[in-house]
């Protein structure tokens, strides 16, 4: 109780929740409805198709994709190409031609 007879409440701050945790259920729903954005990334040597996603917004996918492509190139993948698609996707997310 404070000096004027009023109870004073103290606020404790909660730890921040990562945005990915908040958006994961939304991504799952969007994917289930076929509204999620995915990148289909194809490489040669090795001949592999990677599915990168899901994302609720195309702009979020466009922002997250370059580091993934750079990583593939740094690992020696040749002829890396990609297409952005709005679709529903399940596993497998990596498909080898072998």
Residues 52/68, Cβ–Cβ less than 8 Å: yes
How do residues 20-32 score in pLDDT, each as one tens digit? 566 667 777 766 6
Is residue 72's pLDDT more than 80? yes
| Stated pTM of the model | 0.68
Higher pLDDT, residue 52 or 93: 52
In the structure encoding, which two tokens stand for residue 56, read together?
């609720």
Q: Which residue has the tokens 């000096």?
A: 3
Cα torsion through 82, 85, 87, 89, rounded to 10:
10
Among 14-18, 26-30, 49-53, which is the least confidently predicted range? 14-18
CB 67 within 8 A of CB 80: no
């Amino acid at each position: 109780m404070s000096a004027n007879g009023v109870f004073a409440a103290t606020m404790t701050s909660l730890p921040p929740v990562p945005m990915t945790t908040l958006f994961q259920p939304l991504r799952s729903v969007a994917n289930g409805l076929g509204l999620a954005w995915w990148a289909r990334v194809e490489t040669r040597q090795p001949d592999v198709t990677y599915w990168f996603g899901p994302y609720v917004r195309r702009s979020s996918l466009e922002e997250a994709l370059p580091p993934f492509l750079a990583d593939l190139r740094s690992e020696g993948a040749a002829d890396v190409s990609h297409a952005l698609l709005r679709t529903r996707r399940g596993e497998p997310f990596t498909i080898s031609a072998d």
